[in-house]
Homo-oligomer: A and B are copies of this chain.
Amino acid sequence: MVASAHSPVMSPIRFSRRGNALIGQEMFRVLERARVLEAQGIEVLHLELGNPRLPPPEAAVTDAIGALQRLEVGYTYSAGHPSLRKAVAELYGGANGRALTEANVVISPANLIINQFLDLVCDPGDSVVFFTPAFPTYWAAARHIGLNVLQVPLDPIDGFDLTHDDVSRALELRPRAIIVNSANNPTGAVYGREVLDRLARECDRLGIWLLSDETYGELSYGKEFYSLVGLDLPHVIIMSSFSKIFSVPGYRIGFLVADPVVAAKFTLSVSTLISCLPIFTQIGCASGIRSISEYTANVRARCDRITKWCNASMGQCASIRFPHPAAGFYYFIDISATGIDDMRFAERLLEEEHTAVTPGSCFGAAYGGFVRIAICGKEEDVRLGVTRLTDFVGKLQAERGVV
């Protein structure tokens, strides 16, 4: 753009520091690259996003439709629809021996809850601890806010389990906040009760805020899940998401359980940022809770069946390594023996085999030797995708002359 004395000088576009620090979520970029291929008529297998394709609990859909038919399309409370807050309080209070009321529960999209948590408890420059590998939104939110991320890498030899040593290292760093994620995305690990209890009690004693992201807790099939919701500790916030519990990621409805004072702060944040959430999707989720046991039992059985097949199938491929997941939808696969990094691996797998996966470095810069696959799509697609992946690894080895 050339400026003359007679044309107005154009000012360059300049964003804020927080604007410049946005990185978004790589999985959604992989999705968009996949869509480019699909627009060319190519069928792509989607193993990149935890986008469950199972039918949701019937009532979660029919009751949302019913509310829409009744034109329940107005505003509701910033803290969430009373029916859903009550249902969550009863469900999680009852199952974990803690007297919870609506005042402990706030409804918000799970992805937003992660951002809200760090926003409400950390100032720019504060330190936050992630046990790595860690979910991309944690990184994106911390970077947006300007936090100093301290990593406690979990040991792949232990299947990325959380140990007492890991907890000690995290606490010694004296961060402002810690995020712990059991059942884990991307590793599928489910952490033990004792180690989680110690982490939570020590955090509360030291005034370190702890977000316990239990999004995949209901979907533990290989090990009993332990929730921190049973502890009544003001610095400990529990979150989960109906996206995964009920296979309705498009509802964008998650929830948190916290001390009432902390819950009220989250409510103010919801009010400021998004006013409130839709009524009809909240009514749908409240109805889904009536059949949560049967529904999640089915999902767990399905995950168990598919992972058994995947464990066996990928287990025959000598060039990749992975812990057997005990929960959730994901495999975190060590591809370092293939000789190419995660970005190149994901790019070539998409272009050559039309199969989308998430690069491991989205879960921490140290994980460029990994990719994540999601097994929550259609079962035949998962099997075909995994077969393509192992075939592709074979092809890479052949290229390098490895037998």
Contacts and interface: CB of A to CB of B under 8 A. Distances in A.
Interface of A: 8-19, 22-25, 28, 31-32, 35, 49, 51-53, 55-56, 61, 64-65, 68-69, 71-78, 109, 111-112, 115, 119-123, 126, 137, 140-141, 144, 201, 204-207, 234-235, 247-252, 259, 261-262, 265, 267-269, 271-281
A81 B360 CA distance: 27
Given A19-B119, A119-B19, A281-B278, A8 B201 contact: yes
Given A68-B61, A123-B17, A205-B8, A112 B74 contact: no
Contacts of A15: 120-121, 265
A73 B272 contact: no
B234 A13 contact: yes
Contacts of A144: 272
Given A75-B249, A75-B250, A28 B278 contact: no
B120 A18 contact: yes
Given A8-B204, A65-B68, A252-B276, 13 more contacts: A8-B201, A13-B235, A13-B259, A17-B123, A22-B265, A24-B78, A28-B75, A28-B275, A53-B74, A64-B68, A137-B275, A140-B272, A251-B278
Given A121-B16, A207-B12, A271-B24, A61 B71 contact: yes
Nearest to A118: B16
A32 to B, nearest CB: 7
B61 A73 contact: yes
Contacts of A123: 16-18
B75 A19 contact: no
B73 A249 contact: yes
Contacts of A32: 77
A10 B10 CA distance: 56
Identical copies of this chain, number: 2
Contact of A115 (B137, B249, B272): B272
A312 to B, nearest CB: 28
A317 B68 CA distance: 40
A390 B31 CA distance: 57
Contacts of A269: 19, 22
9 contacts: A8-B204, A24-B268, A25-B275, A28-B75, A35-B77, A49-B75, A137-B272, A249-B275, A252-B276
A72 B51 CA distance: 11
A251 B77 contact: no
Contacts of A207: 11-12, 14
Given A49-B75, A120-B16, A121-B16, A252 B277 contact: yes
A48 to B, nearest CB: 10
Contacts of A52: 74
Nearest to A124: B124
A345 to B, nearest CB: 23
Contacts of A25: 78, 271-272, 275
A223 B359 CA distance: 54
A273 B112 contact: yes
Contact of A18 (B78, B119, B249, B278): B119
A54 to B, nearest CB: 10
A9 to B, nearest CB: 7
Nearest to A17: B123
A377 to B, nearest CB: 10
A131 to B, nearest CB: 21
B19 A121 contact: yes
Contacts of A206: 11
Nearest to A204: B11
B71 A9 contact: no
Contacts of A16: 119-123, 126
